[in-house]
Chains A and B, each alone.
Chain A
């Protein structure tokens, strides 16, 4: 910076008395060529101060350009557009990250040490009479719902909802979700009855039943509350009280999130799909 200025100053000292303004102007043009746009000390001499440095502003090629710059200041459509685009991009990115972190927190709340464990090993039979354990669920997400075939209102509604949720998820990620219905009423819901019942909701549902103790262990593992009335005589009708959440389980068999009555099928399916997108481990399909 200093090097080009020194000879200029010398030049200035010689020529300044005769044509100060012109010289200064020329000097500025040379200064621009050598990438110094700072006012040189010579131009700030008392003589110079009477002539304002108007010329310094003329860094435009055309008058139009200068006029346009004068009107709009440093703002231009290009700069404005770039600003808005960058802002929108950043906003979108932060929102995405925020949602992802929120889901991650939910998903990981049940992982690790000191967390309540929901889910676990079980040994039941399907509506086709085949054995089915927790190992059959590994490698895929599963949606577990507890209910019973004599359920008056909530279970059938929720099963219809589960069917719609399953269809939406299937359309986007085929074979990654296993919908499971576990009966809380094993005394009446044998495989044949389950099969008939579930066929009215979705052919893809897996219905699970077992002995009373097996079901009780399963419900305990999933922290599901259910109560069969005591002292039921054979052939007598009864209702079963039970929890009405869908349990979303990850491919390692860990609990992810409970989906409830407040979620519409679309909302629930979106939550499931978002968790699937976050999953970094292996996934079975088909």
Chain B
């Protein structure tokens, strides 16, 4: 039991360090953070919330679990960064859609997180 307890505190300590930005996350930790982020953003999309910083009350109400998971698995700075990135990315996509509707020429620019071949 003691060994298990030791491991769990060790893990917790590591997770806390990642959240605080004391250590850089590993690949696995990054992956976990990105998945939590995608889950949170999907929930925001489902509830028509664009900016989780400005609309923090609505976001907390609609996506409490997802938000908690996001904050648990990502560094605090990353949480803020991704939230800001979301707003910018949505604005960018809207603007691009507008331009395309006006007959703009689309260029090959990748803005999402999906890896390319």
Chain A interface residues toward B at CB < 8 A: 149-150, 152-153, 156-157, 160-161, 188, 193, 197, 200, 235-239, 261-262, 264-266
Contacts and interface: CB of A to CB of B under 8 A. Distances in A.
Contact of A157 (B74, B85, B113): B113
Q: Which of A153, A160, A262, A266 has the most C-beta atoms of chain B within 10 angstroms of its own C-beta?
A: A153
A139 to B, nearest CB: 31
Contacts of B9: none
B34 to A, nearest CB: 8
Q: Is the interface of B mostly helix, strand, loop or mixed?
A: loop
B74 to A, nearest CB: 8
Contacts of A197: 24
B81 A239 contact: yes
B116 to A, nearest CB: 5
Nearest to B117: A264
Interface of B: 20-22, 24, 26-27, 30, 34, 74-78, 81-82, 85, 108-110, 113, 115-117
A155 to B, nearest CB: 10
Contact of A200 (B20, B27, B74, B82): B27
Given A237-B75, A237-B76, A261-B109, A156 B22 contact: no
A133 B24 CA distance: 26
A88 to B, nearest CB: 29
A160 B115 contact: yes
A3 B104 CA distance: 75
A193 B24 contact: yes
